[in-house]
Amino acid sequence: DSGVTQTPKHLITATGQRVTLRCSPRSGDLSVYWYQQSLDQGLQFLIQYYNGEERAKGNILERFSAQQFPDLHSELNLSSLELGDSALYFCASSVRDRIIYNEQFFGPGTRLTVL
């Protein structure tokens, strides 16, 4: 158990809908990262927050947005969902804002299925 929690574990929804994925980092970790893992695109980095502030942006679509709240939990919002958004979404956390040495601790993921 990494100490990172993600809810829900599974989510099934329809095209055009909007969903929110939630992540609670390990106690004391200030950085949160979001990743998408799909069969055709592999693992892709979406976005990073550090202590409530956006720090880095990867291949995140404009239909997707994220935020980190004062209690450090983070939410990833996916809107106007398409079939291709079906994927496993991981959240990871780390202590610092920069990954220089220490690893990111991954949550168990949220499996999103868009029908």
Residues that bind other proteins (CB under 8 A): 2, 33, 35, 42-45, 48, 55-56, 58, 88, 90, 92, 97-106, 108-109
CB of 105 to other proteins, least distance (A): 7
Nearer to other proteins, 64 or 90 (CB): 90
CA angle 85, 36, 54 (to 5 degrees): 110
Q: Which is nearer to other proteins, 16 or 58 (CB)?
A: 58
Least spacing, CB of residue 89 vs other proteins, in Å = 12
Tell me how far apart the alpha carbons of residues 65 and 94 are, in angstroms, rounded to a whole number: 20
What's 6-72 look like in SS3? EECCEEEECCCCCEEEEEECCCCCCEEEEEEEECCCEEEEEEEEECCEEEEECCCCCCEEEEECCCC
**Closer residue to other proteins (CB): 43 or 83:** 43
State in angstroms the smallest separation of the CB of 16 from other proteins: 27
**Closest separation in Å from C-beta 108 to other proteins:** 6
Q: Which residues contact 62 (CB under 8 A, 6 or more apart)?
A: none
Residue 45 vs 73, nearer CB to other proteins: 45
